[in-house]
Structure 1
Protein backbone atom coordinates (compact mmCIF):
# COMPACT_ATOMS: atom_id res chain seq x y z
CA UNK A 1 0.00 0.00 0.00
CA UNK A 2 1.31 3.44 -0.87
CA UNK A 3 2.13 5.68 2.04
CA UNK A 4 0.60 9.16 2.51
CA UNK A 5 -2.11 8.39 -0.03
CA UNK A 6 -5.04 7.62 2.27
CA UNK A 7 -6.68 9.87 4.88
CA UNK A 8 -6.29 9.08 8.57
CA UNK A 9 -8.82 6.60 9.95
CA UNK A 10 -9.38 7.59 13.56
CA UNK A 11 -12.07 7.88 16.27
CA UNK A 12 -14.60 10.65 15.55
CA UNK A 13 -17.77 11.72 17.38
CA UNK A 14 -20.87 12.26 15.25
CA UNK A 15 -23.48 14.49 16.89
CA UNK A 16 -27.12 14.63 15.80
CA UNK A 17 -28.29 18.06 16.93
CA UNK A 18 -31.98 17.42 16.25
CA UNK A 19 -32.09 14.37 18.54
CA UNK A 20 -29.48 15.48 21.06
CA UNK A 21 -27.57 12.26 20.46
CA UNK A 22 -23.86 11.66 19.88
CA UNK A 23 -21.92 8.50 19.14
CA UNK A 24 -18.25 7.61 18.84
CA UNK A 25 -17.07 5.65 15.82
CA UNK A 26 -14.08 5.46 13.51
CA UNK A 27 -14.06 7.59 10.37
CA UNK A 28 -11.95 9.61 7.98
CA UNK A 29 -14.16 12.69 8.50
CA UNK A 30 -12.36 15.80 9.71
CA UNK A 31 -13.48 18.72 11.83
CA UNK A 32 -11.97 21.72 13.56
CA UNK A 33 -14.33 21.30 16.52
CA UNK A 34 -13.53 18.88 19.35
CA UNK A 35 -15.50 17.38 22.21
CA UNK A 36 -14.51 15.74 25.50
CA UNK A 37 -15.96 12.21 25.52
CA UNK A 38 -16.98 10.04 28.49
CA UNK A 39 -13.63 8.24 28.53
CA UNK A 40 -11.80 11.53 29.21
CA UNK A 41 -10.31 11.75 25.70
CA UNK A 42 -10.90 14.62 23.27
CA UNK A 43 -12.15 13.71 19.78
CA UNK A 44 -13.11 15.68 16.67
CA UNK A 45 -16.88 16.19 16.45
CA UNK A 46 -18.92 16.27 13.22
CA UNK A 47 -22.47 17.64 13.39
CA UNK A 48 -25.01 15.79 11.23
CA UNK A 49 -28.57 16.74 10.36
CA UNK A 50 -30.03 13.27 10.72
CA UNK A 51 -28.97 9.95 12.23
CA UNK A 52 -30.62 6.69 13.22
CA UNK A 53 -31.94 8.44 16.35
CA UNK A 54 -33.92 11.01 14.36
CA UNK A 55 -34.60 9.32 10.99
CA UNK A 56 -38.32 8.47 10.57
CA UNK A 57 -37.57 4.97 9.26
CA UNK A 58 -35.65 3.99 12.39
CA UNK A 59 -37.87 5.81 14.88
CA UNK A 60 -41.11 4.30 13.53
CA UNK A 61 -42.60 7.70 12.79
CA UNK A 62 -42.49 7.30 9.02
CA UNK A 63 -45.46 8.68 7.11
CA UNK A 64 -47.21 6.63 4.48
CA UNK A 65 -47.02 8.54 1.23
CA UNK A 66 -49.27 6.15 -0.69
CA UNK A 67 -52.80 6.87 0.59
CA UNK A 68 -54.33 4.11 -1.50
CA UNK A 69 -52.88 0.60 -1.26
CA UNK A 70 -51.93 -1.56 -4.20
CA UNK A 71 -54.78 -4.03 -3.65
CA UNK A 72 -57.40 -1.27 -3.47
CA UNK A 73 -56.03 0.32 -6.63
CA UNK A 74 -56.09 -3.05 -8.43
CA UNK A 75 -59.69 -3.70 -7.34
CA UNK A 76 -60.76 -0.24 -8.46
CA UNK A 77 -59.23 -0.77 -11.90
CA UNK A 78 -60.25 -4.32 -12.57
CA UNK A 79 -63.31 -4.78 -10.37
CA UNK A 80 -63.55 -5.89 -6.79
CA UNK A 81 -63.97 -9.64 -6.79
CA UNK A 82 -66.16 -9.73 -9.89
CA UNK A 83 -65.94 -12.96 -11.83
CA UNK A 84 -65.52 -12.46 -15.52
CA UNK A 85 -67.23 -14.73 -18.06
CA UNK A 86 -64.53 -16.27 -20.24
CA UNK A 87 -67.04 -17.74 -22.68
CA UNK A 88 -65.92 -21.29 -22.01
CA UNK A 89 -68.43 -23.94 -21.03
CA UNK A 90 -67.37 -26.81 -19.15
Structure 2
Protein backbone atom coordinates (compact mmCIF):
# COMPACT_ATOMS: atom_id res chain seq x y z
CA UNK A 1 0.00 0.00 0.00
CA UNK A 2 1.30 3.45 -0.86
CA UNK A 3 2.08 5.89 1.93
CA UNK A 4 -0.06 9.04 2.42
CA UNK A 5 -2.91 7.55 0.41
CA UNK A 6 -5.44 7.48 3.25
CA UNK A 7 -6.18 9.95 6.07
CA UNK A 8 -4.85 9.30 9.57
CA UNK A 9 -7.17 6.95 11.49
CA UNK A 10 -6.71 7.53 15.22
CA UNK A 11 -8.54 7.27 18.59
CA UNK A 12 -11.03 10.10 19.19
CA UNK A 13 -13.54 10.81 21.97
CA UNK A 14 -17.02 11.86 20.87
CA UNK A 15 -18.92 13.72 23.60
CA UNK A 16 -22.68 14.30 23.72
CA UNK A 17 -23.05 17.16 26.17
CA UNK A 18 -26.87 16.99 26.20
CA UNK A 19 -26.78 13.43 27.58
CA UNK A 20 -23.54 13.74 29.54
CA UNK A 21 -22.14 10.80 27.60
CA UNK A 22 -18.78 10.27 25.91
CA UNK A 23 -17.29 7.32 24.06
CA UNK A 24 -13.89 6.48 22.67
CA UNK A 25 -13.66 5.20 19.11
CA UNK A 26 -11.43 5.50 16.07
CA UNK A 27 -12.01 8.18 13.44
CA UNK A 28 -10.34 10.44 10.89
CA UNK A 29 -11.95 13.51 12.52
CA UNK A 30 -9.57 16.08 14.00
CA UNK A 31 -9.92 18.47 16.92
CA UNK A 32 -7.67 20.92 18.76
CA UNK A 33 -9.44 20.20 22.06
CA UNK A 34 -8.32 17.22 24.12
CA UNK A 35 -9.75 15.31 27.05
CA UNK A 36 -8.13 12.95 29.52
CA UNK A 37 -9.81 9.55 29.25
CA UNK A 38 -10.22 6.84 31.93
CA UNK A 39 -6.94 5.20 30.91
CA UNK A 40 -4.99 8.39 31.78
CA UNK A 41 -4.17 9.27 28.16
CA UNK A 42 -5.30 12.43 26.36
CA UNK A 43 -7.38 12.11 23.21
CA UNK A 44 -8.90 14.65 20.83
CA UNK A 45 -12.52 15.34 21.73
CA UNK A 46 -15.36 16.22 19.36
CA UNK A 47 -18.63 17.57 20.74
CA UNK A 48 -21.77 16.31 18.99
CA UNK A 49 -25.30 17.62 19.36
CA UNK A 50 -26.98 14.23 19.36
CA UNK A 51 -25.87 10.63 19.82
CA UNK A 52 -27.53 7.30 20.51
CA UNK A 53 -27.77 8.34 24.17
CA UNK A 54 -29.94 11.39 23.44
CA UNK A 55 -31.68 10.55 20.14
CA UNK A 56 -35.43 10.00 20.67
CA UNK A 57 -35.48 6.89 18.47
CA UNK A 58 -32.88 5.09 20.60
CA UNK A 59 -34.09 6.34 23.98
CA UNK A 60 -37.75 5.43 23.41
CA UNK A 61 -38.93 9.00 23.87
CA UNK A 62 -40.00 9.41 20.23
CA UNK A 63 -43.08 11.47 19.50
CA UNK A 64 -45.89 10.08 17.39
CA UNK A 65 -46.57 12.34 14.44
CA UNK A 66 -50.16 13.53 14.27
CA UNK A 67 -50.70 13.49 10.50
CA UNK A 68 -54.49 13.75 10.85
CA UNK A 69 -54.08 16.95 12.85
CA UNK A 70 -51.61 18.38 10.35
CA UNK A 71 -53.93 17.72 7.42
CA UNK A 72 -56.90 19.25 9.22
CA UNK A 73 -54.85 22.30 10.17
CA UNK A 74 -53.67 22.69 6.56
CA UNK A 75 -57.25 22.45 5.25
CA UNK A 76 -58.48 25.02 7.81
CA UNK A 77 -55.65 27.39 6.99
CA UNK A 78 -55.78 27.13 3.20
CA UNK A 79 -59.44 26.24 2.58
CA UNK A 80 -59.11 22.51 2.08
CA UNK A 81 -61.14 20.25 -0.12
CA UNK A 82 -61.53 20.05 -3.88
CA UNK A 83 -62.82 23.05 -5.81
CA UNK A 84 -65.78 22.65 -8.18
CA UNK A 85 -64.61 22.00 -11.72
CA UNK A 86 -61.91 19.46 -10.79
CA UNK A 87 -59.10 21.83 -9.75
CA UNK A 88 -57.68 22.01 -6.31
Query: Which range, TM-score by smaller chain?
Result: 0.7 to 0.9
* CA distance in 2: counterparts of 1:49 and 1:43, whole angstroms: 19
Runs of 5+ consecutive residues of structure 2 not aligned to the other structure: 69-88
Partner of 1:14: 14
Where 1:5 maps in the other structure, the secondary structure is: coil
Cα RMSD (Å) of the superposition?
1.1
Partner of 2:53: 53
TM-score (norm 2): 0.72
By how many angstroms is 1:3 displaced? 1.1
1:34 paired to 2:29: no
* CA distance in 1: counterparts of 2:36 and 2:27, whole angstroms: 17
| Structure 1 segments (4+ residues) deviating >4 Å | none
Number of residue pairs aligned between Structure 1 and Structure 2: 68
Runs of 5+ consecutive residues of structure 1 not aligned to the other structure: 69-90
Where 1:44 maps in the other structure, the secondary structure is: strand
Where 1:57 maps in the other structure, the secondary structure is: helix
